[in-house]
Amino acid sequence: MLRLTRIYVIPLVLVLMALVLAGCQPVSNARTEFCQTLHDVGTSATELKNAKIDQPVDQVKATVDGLQQKKKNLDRLAKLTPVPALDKLAAAIDGAVQAVSGAVGNTLGPVVQTVNAAGDQVLQTYTELNDAVCVAK
């Protein structure tokens, strides 16, 4: 009987270990990665807030594309660690995407104030979330 149990237990343990190593991330690592990604969002928000009228649109679009990728990463990480809802930050990032999409030509030109305001909104929501999740812990 003992031999039969070993035959089933050992493969089961190996499968469970493989699942743990492949798909699960410890909460502390997820929180660290969440806070680092959130910090990157703050850096990008500052770039948008400080965008200049003659700044190339492609450069600003790259910043916004990075924000969208960071938003996806934050959503993934939020499932692994307890954090407040990301809805407000997601809405602010979507607002920045929309502001930059209004740019016509090679430079920001007349949409620069809208981009700056969108960057400020992302920065404010970043600060609130950072204070609640990363600084307080």
Q: Which CATH architecture has domain 27-135?
A: Up-down Bundle (1.20)
Give me the helix-helix angle, 87-101 and 27-49, nearest 10°: 30
Element (H, E) at 94: helix 87-101
Phi-psi region of 112 (alpha: psi -120 to 50; beta: other; left: phi over 0): alpha
pLDDT at 5: 54
pLDDT digit string, tens, across residues 3-25: 545 555 555 444 445 444 444 44
The residue ranking higher by pLDDT, 127 or 9, is: 127
pLDDT at 96: 95
- As a whole number of angstroms, the distance between CA 10 and CA 5 comes to 9
Question: How confident is the prediction for the chain on average, in pLDDT?
Answer: 83
pLDDT at 19: 43
Rounded mean pLDDT, 50-69: 95
Cα distances from 137 to residues 33, 47, 74, 133, 134, in angstroms, run: 14, 27, 17, 6, 6
Phi, psi dihedral angles at 50 (to 5 degrees): -100, 15
Rounded mean pLDDT, 116-124: 96
In the chain, where are the structural domains located? 27-135
Residue 107: strand pairing partners: 56
